[in-house]
Amino acid sequence: MNVEALLKRYAEGESNFSGETLRGAKLRQADLIGVDLSRCDLYGADLVFAYLSRVNLRSANLMKADLSGAYLTQADLSVTELSDASLHGAVLYEADLRRSKAAFASLLDANLINADMRGIDLGGANLRGACLRGANLRLEPRIYEGANLRRADLQNADLSEANLSGADLRLANLQGANLRSANLREADLTGANLAGACLEKAVLVETNLSETQLQSASLKGATSERANYQEADLTGVDLSSAGLTEAKFGKATLRRANLFQARLNKADLSRASLREANLTGAQLIEAYMARADLRGANLTDAVLAKAEVSGANLTQVKLNNTTMPDGRVRSQD
């Protein structure tokens, strides 16, 4: 079908164009609100600034299509092929993107607020500055796999309150991203860059954050029990009031980290660098701190009852009303 025929029939009231071939179609700024384009072949189509609200694009082929600035509010893009497509600045508010394939797509500055993105493949995609506030990317066993965001560029993206539980974010760029109150339970962020990111009040239970870059990130009030931070760089991170029970920090760098009133009971801090860290009021009951470097750390009001500190470097540590591993309370003279 050619573009002229489609637009003429649509103007006459027809809306079902399911399965049509529209490869390379020039539909820039076209008004196709509510049309059915499911299973259509729109490979390389020009849909820049097109009005596609509530359009049915289920199972359509939009590979290499240009949808920059397109309005796709509440559109059905489930199981759609979007690999290498451009959706720069597109509005996908409450869109259905379940199981769509968008590897290496450009979603720069896109609006994905409250979008359903369960099972989506965004491997290598560019989502810099995109807004995914409240988006649903959660893993649902036997129904939806965790969203694939491996190596995705999410620098400065807004993912606040997004559900990313079970998502694959390995090697993703989340530098400066807003993940406040996001759910990252059991997500894999191995090797991801989260420098300067906001993860305040985020859920990071059993999350894999090994080898991540978390310099100057804020995890204030985060829930991160049993999370894996092994060999991560947390220099200058804010973990104040965070729940870190049984978390693993083996060989991690926590230099100048703020762990004020953090809950680190039974945490593994073996061989971790905690030089000049603020552990004021921290709970470290039964923590494993063998060979940890605590030089210059502040342990005022901290509780280390039954903690293992063999081989730890405690040079110039500040002790004031500190409960030691043997239960005695110590203060420096």
What would the pLDDT profile of 66-123 be if each residue is shown by its tens digit? 999 999 999 999 999 999 999 999 999 999 999 999 999 999 999 999 999 999 999 9
What percentage of the chain carries pLDDT values higher than 90? 96
Q: What is the pTM of this model?
A: 0.92
In this structure, what are the phi and psi dihedrals at residue 304, rounded to the nearest 5 degrees? -115, 25
Residue 296 in tokens: 């210059």
Q: Which residues contact 295 (CB under 8 A, 6 or more apart)?
A: 275, 276, 313, 314, 315, 316, 317
Distances (CA, A) of 311 to 66, 257, 289, 290, 293: 60, 21, 8, 6, 9
Is the sign of the CA dihedral 300, 302, 304, 310 positive or negative?
A: negative
Give the pLDDT band (50/70/90) at residue 125: very high
Per residue in 253-292, pLDDT (tens digit) is 999 999 999 999 999 999 999 999 999 999 999 999 999 9
* pLDDT the model gives residue 333: 56
* pLDDT the model gives residue 140: 87
Give the mean pLDDT of 12-32.
94
Instruction: Using DSSP, state whether 183 is helix, strand or coil.
Output: strand
pLDDT of 332 above 80: no
Instruction: Say which DSSP state 320 is in.
Output: S
Per residue in 27-37, pLDDT (tens digit) is 999 999 999 99
Distance CA 138, CA 142 (A): 12
Q: Which residues contact 328 (CB under 8 A, 6 or more apart)?
A: none
* pLDDT the model gives residue 146: 85
Q: Which residue has the tokens 């559109």?
A: 75
Q: Which of 289, 286, 331 is nearest to 310 (CA)?
A: 289
Per residue in 218-254, pLDDT (tens digit) is 999 999 999 999 999 999 999 999 999 999 999 999 9
Instruction: Say which DSSP state 133 is in.
Output: T
Higher pLDDT, 332 or 205: 205
